[in-house]
Structure 1
Amino acid sequence: MKKLYPDYYEKFKCIADKCPKTCCGGWQIEIDEESLAAYKSMGIDNVDYENEIFNYDEDKMCRNLREDGLCKLILKHGEGILCRTCATFPRHIEEFQNVREYSLSISCPEVARLILNRQDSISFYEEDDEEKDLEDYDAGEQEVYKYLQVLRKKFVDVIQNRNLSLKDRGGLILCIADTFQNAYDNIIFEDGDLDQLDIDSILNTDYASLNLTFQNRKAMFDVMKGWEFTTSEFSDLLSVTEETIYTKDTVSKEKAAMCKCLAGHGVELSVVLEQILLYFIYTYFCGSAYDEFYFGQAQLAVCTCLHIQDLALAHYMRTGDITLDDLIRLTYLYARELEHSIPNILYTEEYMDENPLV
Structure 2
Amino acid sequence: MLYTRPDYYKEFTCTAEQCEDTCCAGWQIVIDSASMKKYRGEKSAYKKKLHRSIHWLQKTFKQDKEKRCAFLTEENLCDMYLNLGEKSLCRTCRQYPRHMEEFENVREASLSLSCPEVAKLLLSRKEKVKFQYRETEEEEEWDDFSPFLYSQLVDARELMIELLQNRKLSIENRIVLCLGLAYDMQNRIDADELFGCGDVIENYRKQAYFSSAGRKVDRYRKNIKAQYQFAHRVIEDLYQLELLKEEWDMLLQEAQVRLFGKGEDVYAEIMDEFSEWIQTEYQWDWNIQCEQLMVYFIYTYFCGAVYDERILVNAEMAVAAVSVIWNLMAATWLKNEKQLDLEDVCSIAYRYSRELEHSDENLKRYWNILDEEKLLFR
Is the aligned partner of 1:106 residue 2:118? no
| Paired position in structure 2 for 1:324 | 342
1:146 to 141, 144, 151: 151
Shift in alpha-carbon separation, 1:80–1:176, aligned structure 2, 3 A: same
CA RMSD of aligned residues (A): 1.8
Contact 2:155 2:201 in 1 (8 A): no
Superposition pairs of residues 54-93 of structure 1, within 5 angstroms: 54-93=61-100
Structure 1 range deviating more: 243-252 or 55-64 = 243-252
C-alpha spacing 1:146/1:217, structure 2 compared with 1 (3 Å)? same
Q: TM-score, normalised by structure 1?
A: 0.93
Q: Which moved more, 1:311-320 or 1:38-47?
A: 38-47
**Percent identity between the aligned chains?**
34
Residue 260 of structure 1 and its aligned partner are, at CA, apart by: 5.1
Does the C-alpha gap of structure 1 residues 19 and 137 become closer, same or farther in structure 2, counting only changes over 3 Å? farther
Give the partner amino acid of 1:17.
Answer: E
What secondary structure sits across from 1:63 in the alignment?
coil
**Alignment equivalent of 1:250, drawn from 242, 257, 266:** 266
Gaps of 5+ in 1: none
Matched residue type, 2:21? K
Say which is worse superposed, 348-357 or 196-205, in terms of deviation: 196-205
User: Any idea what SS the aligned residue of 1:102 has?
Assistant: strand
TM-score by length of 2: 0.88
User: In 1, are the aligned partners of 2:104 and 2:145 still within 8 Å (CA)?
Assistant: no
* CA displacement at 1:301 relative to structure 2: 0.4
State the partner residue of 2:5.
Answer: 5
The answer to whether the 8 Å contact 1:179/1:202 transfers is no
Equivalent residue, structure 1, for 2:362: 344
Verify: 1:272 aligned to 2:277, yes or no: no
**Is this contact kept in 2: 1:180–1:202, CA < 8 A?**
no
Report if aligned partners of 1:293, 1:349 keep a CA contact under 8 Å in 2. no
CA–CA distance in structure 2, aligned partners of residues 58 and 167 of structure 1: 43
Shift of 1:158: 1.0
Whole-angstrom distance in 2 between the partners of 1:231 and 1:19: 17
CA displacement at 1:202 relative to structure 2: 5.3
| Secondary structure of the structure 2 residue equivalent to 1:101 | strand
Task: Choose 213-222 or 6-15, whichever is displaced more.
Answer: 213-222
Does the CA-based 8 Å contact 2:181-2:201 persist in structure 1?
A: no
Q: Aligned partners of 2:55, 2:134: CA distance in 1, in Å?
A: 39
SS at match of 2:102: strand
Q: 2:182 aligns with which of 177, 186, 190?
A: 177
Deviation at 1:88, TM superposition (A): 0.7
What letter is aligned with 1:356?
L
2:240 maps to which of 226, 229, 239: 226
State the alpha-carbon separation in 1 of the partners of residues 266 and 306 from structure 2: 38
Rounded to whole Å, the distance in 1 between the matches of 2:227 and 2:119 is: 29
Larger CA deviation: 27-36 vs 121-130? 121-130
In 2, distance between residues paired with 1:145 and 1:89?
27
Unpaired runs of 5+ residues, structure 2, are none
- 2:45 maps to 1:31: no
Q: Could you tell which deviates more after superposition, 308-317 or 343-352?
A: 343-352
1:154 is aligned with what amino acid? L
Q: Distance in 2 between matches of 1:356 and 1:175?
A: 14
For 1:296 and 1:174, locate their aligned partners in 2 and report how far apart those are by CA, in whole Å. 9
Q: Distance in 1 between matches of 2:376 and 2:344?
A: 28
Shift of 1:7: 0.6
